[in-house]
Structure 1
């Protein structure tokens, strides 16, 4: 079946062949791709060439190896639009995935200098701290750590925070509608606790987002949040336009 030709390296042509099969749906998510022996025979190449093609696709998270079972098509990464702020539940609904939140920890703390400054509240005032694990189709994907001034909703911890979305509670009980969200992103490595909760190895790449959520009606900060996304399951994109009408931009 060898269809390899041209100046491109053989392993790269085989890699593109497998990738095209994945994108066309010929190899479906969770399905095993042909064995190394089958690919060697079909393309009339060495095992080393086949392994290089597969290794790159594993590194790119398009394939996953399972010891003693074979190589399988990975679940595609979750693509998140950085322009539009969406909740985890909204993202999972868009993907047709079941989702749930597991409340790992909740407590009331005193605001430190950073929380006081970013939430515009008095130093040492009471703040809710909540740590939640978010799952899509029972796969742990995100750890979200929220800090909310207690004065916003004094009885918040009496609510079922696993069954009821936080922003829905704030909207229904306090009339708060989420408006502006200011976030920063950086790459970090999973520490032992984070790795355990997200079912990844210690040192695995994570994407850390920290930010402030504002009330749409009065632009008041209502939440300081830290979110950890699995680096192997998330991709973020942003669309930008260049203002060519401004002559000063031609530089």
Structure 2
């Protein structure tokens, strides 16, 4: 598979490299564990610097799509669940479809300097501040999920938005940003003590932890989200369609 960068394009080189990598790793041999070409070979083929290539690879590593091991190489990660949503719904809309009225038990807004993974996802400089939204949500008298969301500063959110509305409805109607693609990683964990208190569970109770990375229609990153779900109150289903060849 011949891949190349358009050096005359206005799209940054590292974003072009990232998009090419996403296409490359769809090939069967990479899905089955074949090592990606080494950085020297790939950067030479694309005529970009190794630092630019590493930036693109690091983005996919942070998403859990690629796994990089020192002295071994880079492969497609087998951990996690990744998918494209056919009908994008916010949590509020998902619950409405189930006939459940959503309640916000806590809502906290702050401007923070997030962890490196968030900064890398949004391609921000160290010490950049982003809007962070934390919400304890659930049905009447029963909170069962705690969300922590970070938003790309390029959207222009102020923190004064009406978060009683569905999040992606706000982004669409107020900022003309349409959430259209997500990459997700699901794991079962023991939640931090402060999360256990919010969800009213014991420290050894199971929690479904979901990391969701959200993009707009042009594959620009818009939201980095963590969700902690009570294991006894939430089932996460994935619908897949097998197409004939």
Fold similarity call, TM over 0.5: yes
Partner of 2:97: 94
Distance 1:244 1:151, change over 3 A: closer
Partner of 2:191: 190
Matches within 5 A, 1:1-251: 84=85, 85-155=88-158, 157-161=159-163, 163-216=164-217, 218-240=218-240, 245=245
Contact 2:90 2:168 survives alignment (8 Å): no
Contact 2:91 2:166 survives alignment (8 Å): no
1:91-144 deviation line (CA, Å, top 9, x unaligned): 221221111224442211124421121122333222011110111133111110
* Number of residue pairs the alignment of both structures matches: 161
Contact 1:83 1:239 survives alignment (8 Å): no
> Which sections of structure 2, spanning at least 5 residues, go unmatched?
1-82
Q: What TM-score, normalized by structure 2, do the two folds share? A: 0.59
Within 2, Cα distance between the matches of 1:91 and 1:190?
24
1:196-235 deviation line (CA, Å, top 9, x unaligned): 211222221010011211112x210011110111111112
Within 2, Cα distance between the matches of 1:180 and 1:207?
21
Flag as ranges the 4+ runs of structure 1 deviating above 6 A.
none
Partner of 1:26: none
Contact 2:106 2:136 survives alignment (8 Å): yes
Structure whose alpha-carbon radius of gyration is higher: 1
Q: What TM-score, normalized by structure 1, do the two folds share? A: 0.58
Within 2, Cα distance between the matches of 1:86 and 1:160?
18
Q: CA RMSD in A?
A: 2.2
Give the SS at the match of 2:236: strand
Contact 1:211 1:226 survives alignment (8 Å): yes
Within 1, Cα distance between the matches of 2:240 and 2:107?
37
